[in-house]
Amino acid sequence: MQRRQIIVVGGGLAGTATALGLASAGFDTLLAAPPAPEDKRSSAILGRSLAFLADLGVLDALGEARAPLAVMRIVDDLGRLFRAPTVEFRASEIGLTAFGINTLNADLATALQACTAKRENLEILPLAATGLTQSDDRAIVSFADGSEMGADLVVAADGRRSAMREAAGIGARQWSYPQTAIVLNFEHTRDHGAVSTEFHTRTGPFTQVPLPGRRSSLVWVEDPKLAELYVELKPEKLASTIADKLHWILGEVTVDGPVARYPLGGSRVERLTGTRLALVGEAAHAFPPIGAQGLNLGLRDAEALVRLAEESRDDPGSRLMLSRYEAGRRGDVVSRTAGVDILNRSLLMDFLPSQIARSGTMAAMGLVGPLRQFAMREGLVPGAGIAGLPRSVKKWMGGHEAARDPVEDERHGRH
Q: Give residue-wise pLDDT tens across range 165-197.
A: 999 999 999 989 899 999 999 999 999 999 999
What pLDDT is stored for residue 413 in this prediction?
Answer: 52
pTM: 0.86
Is 410 a domain residue?
no
- Contacts with 102 (C-beta within 8 Å, 6 or more apart), sequence order: 42, 43, 44, 45, 66, 67, 69, 196, 209, 210, 211, 217
- Domain of residue 286: give its range: 2-174+266-396
Is 374 a domain residue?
yes
What pLDDT is stored for residue 353 in this prediction?
Answer: 47
CATH number at residue 290: 3.50.50.60
SS3 372: helix
What pLDDT is stored for residue 300 in this prediction?
Answer: 95
What pLDDT is stored for residue 399 in this prediction?
Answer: 44
What pLDDT is stored for residue 239 in this prediction?
Answer: 98
In eight-state DSSP terms, residue 412 is T
**Number of domain units in the chain:** 1
pLDDT less than 50: residues of the chain: 349-353, 399-408, 411-412, 414-415
Is 303 a domain residue?
yes
Is 236 a domain residue?
no
SS3 69: strand
For the chain, the distance separating the N- and C-terminal CA atoms, rounded to the nearest angstrom, is 67
Question: pLDDT, tens digit, for every residue of 379-395?
Answer: 776 776 655 666 666 66
What pLDDT is stored for residue 86 in this prediction?
Answer: 84
What residue type is 330 in one-letter code? R
What pLDDT is stored for residue 128 in this prediction?
Answer: 95
Is 201 a domain residue?
no
User: In whole numbers, what is the pLDDT of the chain averaged over residues?
Assistant: 87
CA distances in angstroms from 34 to 15, 16, 184, 220, 311, listed in the order given = 12, 12, 25, 29, 30
What pLDDT is stored for residue 387 in this prediction?
Answer: 59
